[in-house]
Structure 1
């Protein structure tokens, strides 16, 4: 079982009209996993309740925020294991309750269980993603299978399921309404999904599979982080980096010095295939080296190669689905989604292929014409971004390095992201320098509701990449909202903006800007949560709905009033030049070949992987990937998927297995939802109240299609997305 880390996705960047201007934004969900642990005796339960470490009581800080000044590495494993033990004991007590099962003594009691576990693991999971170390990785390896075993023992407990089923089938259960009815519906479906109807022997087999999968997923995550760091590209001369800014070159020299390579230059790898620097490097061989390191980072046969882990994970998942009576893992995974079968997902996605293929062929011709001026006779994948940028500059007079000075990171946050939230929802933000953080570059803010008095919670902002942080961008809860437990949300947004060199300003690309708005959409989903039960609170919704609020929030980045408030030159304070937004919006429809194509390819690759039988899943991964890409009808020779199989962290570790398509589906929702906003007056407080009341503050208190119709008054429409991407005739 893994804690949810909601990430920015490939499509996020291109969901905005500006997105195609830069390499797309990031990426998921995270989980964890070793030695199974069970509480079977009163003595063991008593030992668990005797835990008196740093997490034994709620933090004394505001909102129960974690006190990083008091936590040592040696605190984590005892606290997690005590949390596991207590949760097991609490669940066992519910299962063994002699009283007849009721909603209160079963479902509500389950929602109250696991407070210590949540308190510690919500913090630990963020650190292993954002500021890990060898010590934390070792603890993660040790506790992840224990967590997986705990989840199995809860959801495969026949006594506990019998109580849930009794409430579900009872007249009293059928008479429940509102959140009570939804909690019962969600929990019953979860028990069945996780194998509650299996025979005892089948349950034993399932537990073993889940433990093995958890171990492998954790190993994959750690190995890929190591691969990203190990395959950073080292250059011997400054000349090889021609095209990069002085600040970028200085940062590359700093990295090399820190890595023990003085006099050299190191370019780190970002999590996805196409690296941002490919748009700038004038030296074709330098581009080739960066691209090849990127695309081969975890499949080059060295100690970081993840392909063997992929084979094991895919095979075990297929066997798990088979055990649970499903034709494949995708069908198993999609039971609670808006789009609930892999066939529907593939039909939805392949509908884009004809128009996109035409665009790819056309744009490839345009780029080859531009490349011929440099003597290039055949376009290669490492050329695409470079010549796309040249064509964009020539056609739209846009220059990434000229635009970045208008996007100072903290100014974008405070005068852009926060400003839009203030104007739309009435929120205000107060910086808190008295709240400890786990890294010195972080900032913390208290979020105040629209009445100007009521605190909603705390917001942490962790903006810069570092070797201890995994790639991507995500939102997580240190504390999750729940009226039942009396909790207000404590939320972090974590991003991987290239850190500035010493003494230089922190500047964001346009992709970084849209990622900041995206992740804050997740944060708003958490801050506006007003649910009784943790299970239904905030972002605890289906995979193909949860990215809707975040992609929807990206639209505020280009609202003229918002843009004018934050897009100011960091030196002079001059506004973004007049008319540049129109140019950027026009440019945003260029290069959909990559902006949309690489994500669509990755989403289809995900479904193809997870519709395999166990026998099919055991074939060599790169051979299967080659066949899968060739079957898509897209220019995968020039435009590889955003994530190739060996570094597709979303699906092998972050909980997006059979769910990467959700970024595209939720983009449909986001564009259609924004179309409603524009038709009803734009960024107004009245619209903000409607957005919050209809879906953004509703968590999973209602069926997700109902929430969407409550917002727009209709089912999702495709046309606004097609128009925004320039894919209509």
Structure 2
């Protein structure tokens, strides 16, 4: 046995990162796969008649050693990768895909599951057990259990290929991202940029052994540059570089990969008896069907479009009046929006950032969690980390019982993919009478500290931290029996509710006064700034909604129809964006080739779920506001019916248990200021 397969002799059974080397992974995966096969064989060869316990429950608890190895490895592959890990990922992905198929296409195993499923109405099962049985049966039928041998072989081939393509897609995006440098030598080209941004760019140049200032496509560098840099040509250059990720004539081009992924997904869906990949995916979502998703997106589009055009015209007139610009381009949007926002609200990120020191915001989100759910966070140094930047916390309840282990990884680095996400190293589950507590992590790419300043967050970064922390709470407060129904193991269009609802507290005076203090003076954020934050919350909301809808429509365009006739990725994109387009198209950039959510993450046919969950979160937060944003009774209902239940029951049932009724789309339109 190797370090990854033996019992961890660590605090709370946490991963012993400092003792794991790259050489440990492949043997551990081999051992984990062999052990999983052995566990499956034991279920299949059990001489007793199939029961819920000896078949369905046994299957739910199989493969846990392998899952633990996979969680550790793939979380590092996303947060702290290198060439060696990328090579291992390429080698392991098809093996894991083959094992999944070995299990899902195992006729004898399916026969046992089916035998239990057929007795489901007469079995004394609780809600969670019923859900597990239903999910287990569907996992098999949705993964080819009813196919003939030839079709099963075809499915295996498709899945193995897809697992490699998805990884390659992500690696290409990261490679293009890391290859780009905007190296500035003339100080005049920094005009408009905040001092902290300039300082960070100088530090990066120095770290790379160069003079001047370096800007990259990492968000903490890219977003401030396109938002504040007065030099329009340089804004154009860096915007085009971001838009060309995966869409250049180099080894990282993703065009063929995208076309192959969507065709294979479509073939797979058809093989399983579904019209399209979206039909297959949405069967297991609150939205249920592509028609419902298109109706939802187009209904919102109809309501948001007049507001978006009005905002775009206002922005165009503002740029014309200010700088004589006749036509706004993609590289102008963030810049002029920020200038207009400053003019309208006398509010800009640079004014707010001193009040949002990372440590204070983190303490703030902990205080909010404490007031709502009684959680206490204690930073500890006896838990191993995979990188020195990572911070580790014990999370306990009011009775000092361990709720979870929490990891936080905040700053960009070379081996870390873009964006922000929540993940877990170990799920929560109950086995042999022991409630195993989860190990949850959030990974972000925030503005790092400099030589003269701590990490000061933009307001957007503050909401991102609250968002990911909402996902983390969903993982930390999980209280299910089975690991595959625990925490965030819910319908994909429900998973964003716990994260998006947390963002609401960032706009509330009662919450902001807990943590928004000036990093030098310690003064609380002035109330007029809080008022401006609230007033500006709906600024350009029509355009922002249109942008989100455009991504959802592009996703459905790729996955809700037969894509096999698409040969020109860019031409196809233009068609999908026609109904949401505000800025002129730029020929040599594309979205799909770096759209990691749908081609490297789990959001294919699911990008609409951000907006779907916004309806849920706006409706749910209205309930909090009616009773007080720290109302214990409402918070307890949210914890008991949403956060702790995971995927143990249908999400609409859980939502109605919390809210007393179905969510209303008008709650979102009201909050966004889009109700005429």
What range describes the TM-score normalised by the shorter chain of this pair?
A: over 0.9
Counterpart of 1:268 in structure 2 is: 216
Counterpart of 1:169 in structure 2 is: 118
Q: CA deviation at 1:297?
A: 2.2
- Of 558, 571, 593 in structure 2, the residue corresponding to residue 609 of structure 1 is 558
- Of 608, 620, 630 in structure 1, the residue corresponding to residue 568 of structure 2 is 620
Counterpart of 1:346 in structure 2 is: 294
**CA offsets per residue over residues 329-363 of structure 1, 9 Å max, x none?**
11111111000111110100111223322122212
**CA offsets per residue over residues 117-163 of structure 1, 9 Å max, x none?**
12211111110000111111111111011011111110111111110
1:57 and 2:2 are equivalent in the alignment: no
Counterpart of 1:428 in structure 2 is: 376
Q: Give, in whole Å, the separation in 1 of the partners of 2:7 and 2:577.
A: 50
Root-mean-square deviation (CA, aligned residues, Å) is 1.9
- Of 631, 647, 662 in structure 1, the residue corresponding to residue 609 of structure 2 is 662
Paired residue secondary structure (2:440): strand
1:281 and 2:229 are equivalent in the alignment: yes
Counterpart of 1:440 in structure 2 is: 388
Q: Give, in whole Å, the separation in 2 of the partners of 1:701 and 1:233.
A: 49
Q: List runs of 5+ in structure 2 lacking aligned partners.
A: none
Q: Give, in whole Å, the separation in 1 of the partners of 2:637 and 2:481.
A: 21
Paired residue secondary structure (1:543): coil
Q: Give, in whole Å, the separation in 2 of the partners of 1:675 and 1:237.
A: 51
Q: Give, in whole Å, the separation in 1 of the partners of 2:616 and 2:590.
A: 23
Paired residue secondary structure (1:596): helix
- Of 395, 407, 431 in structure 2, the residue corresponding to residue 460 of structure 1 is 407
**CA offsets per residue over residues 687-728 of structure 1, 9 Å max, x none?**
221211121111111111100000100011011110111111
1:687 and 2:631 are equivalent in the alignment: no
Q: Give, in whole Å, the separation in 2 of the partners of 1:611 and 1:274.
A: 33
Counterpart of 1:527 in structure 2 is: 476
Counterpart of 1:125 in structure 2 is: 74
Counterpart of 1:231 in structure 2 is: 180
After superposition, where does 1:173-192 map in structure 2 within 5 Å?
Answer: 174-192=123-141
Describe the shift of the 1:638–1:417 C-alpha distance in structure 2 as closer, same or farther (beyond 3 A). farther
Q: Give, in whole Å, the separation in 1 of the partners of 2:372 and 2:662.
A: 24
Describe the shift of the 1:171–1:218 C-alpha distance in structure 2 as closer, same or farther (beyond 3 A). closer
Query: Alignment length, in residue pairs?
Result: 672
Describe the shift of the 1:272–1:361 C-alpha distance in structure 2 as closer, same or farther (beyond 3 A). farther
- Structure 1 stretch 154-163 or stretch 246-255: which is displaced more? 246-255
The structure whose RCO (Cα within 8 Å, separation 6+) is larger is 1
Q: Give, in whole Å, the separation in 2 of the partners of 1:625 and 1:273.
A: 27
Counterpart of 2:280 in structure 1 is: 332
8 Å CA contact retained: 2:494, 2:613: yes
Q: CA deviation at 1:600?
A: 1.0
8 Å CA contact retained: 1:273, 1:291: no
After superposition, where does 1:528-547 map in structure 2 within 5 Å?
Answer: 528-547=477-496
Q: CA deviation at 1:503?
A: 4.1
User: TM-score with structure 2 length normalisation?
Assistant: 0.96
8 Å CA contact retained: 1:481, 1:488: yes
Counterpart of 1:32 in structure 2 is: none
Counterpart of 2:591 in structure 1 is: 644
- Of 512, 519, 526 in structure 2, the residue corresponding to residue 577 of structure 1 is 526
- Of 532, 539, 559 in structure 2, the residue corresponding to residue 590 of structure 1 is 539
1:714 and 2:661 are equivalent in the alignment: yes
- Structure 1 stretch 599-608 or stretch 493-502: which is displaced more? 493-502
Q: Give, in whole Å, the separation in 2 of the partners of 1:320 and 1:460.
A: 37
Describe the shift of the 1:633–1:470 C-alpha distance in structure 2 as closer, same or farther (beyond 3 A). closer
- Of 38, 42, 48 in structure 2, the residue corresponding to residue 89 of structure 1 is 38
Q: Give, in whole Å, the separation in 2 of the partners of 1:639 and 1:289.
A: 12
1:99 and 2:48 are equivalent in the alignment: yes
- Structure 1 stretch 167-176 or stretch 81-90: which is displaced more? 167-176
Q: CA deviation at 1:570?
A: 0.6
After superposition, where does 1:411-422 map in structure 2 within 5 Å?
Answer: 411-414=360-363, 416-422=364-370
Counterpart of 1:18 in structure 2 is: none
User: TM-score with structure 1 length normalisation?
Assistant: 0.89
Counterpart of 1:44 in structure 2 is: none
Paired residue secondary structure (1:339): coil
Q: Give, in whole Å, the separation in 1 of the partners of 2:542 and 2:211.
A: 38
After superposition, where does 1:476-491 map in structure 2 within 5 Å?
Answer: 476-484=423-431, 486=434, 487-491=436-440
- Structure 1 stretch 293-302 or stretch 353-362: which is displaced more? 353-362
Q: CA deviation at 1:581?
A: 1.5
Q: Give, in whole Å, the separation in 2 of the partners of 1:635 and 1:609.
A: 21
Q: Give, in whole Å, the separation in 2 of the partners of 1:566 and 1:616.
A: 54
Describe the shift of the 1:584–1:425 C-alpha distance in structure 2 as closer, same or farther (beyond 3 A). same
Q: CA deviation at 1:65?
A: 0.8
1:629 and 2:577 are equivalent in the alignment: yes
Counterpart of 1:28 in structure 2 is: none
Q: List runs of 5+ in structure 1 lacking aligned partners.
A: 1-51
After superposition, where does 1:39-50 map in structure 2 within 5 Å?
Answer: none
Counterpart of 1:496 in structure 2 is: 445
Counterpart of 1:45 in structure 2 is: none
Q: CA deviation at 1:376?
A: 1.5
**CA offsets per residue over residues 240-291 of structure 1, 9 Å max, x none?**
122122221122122233345x124221214699834211111111111121
Q: Give, in whole Å, the separation in 2 of the partners of 1:637 and 1:543.
A: 33
Counterpart of 2:420 in structure 1 is: 473
- Of 132, 146, 161 in structure 1, the residue corresponding to residue 95 of structure 2 is 146
Describe the shift of the 1:172–1:58 C-alpha distance in structure 2 as closer, same or farther (beyond 3 A). farther
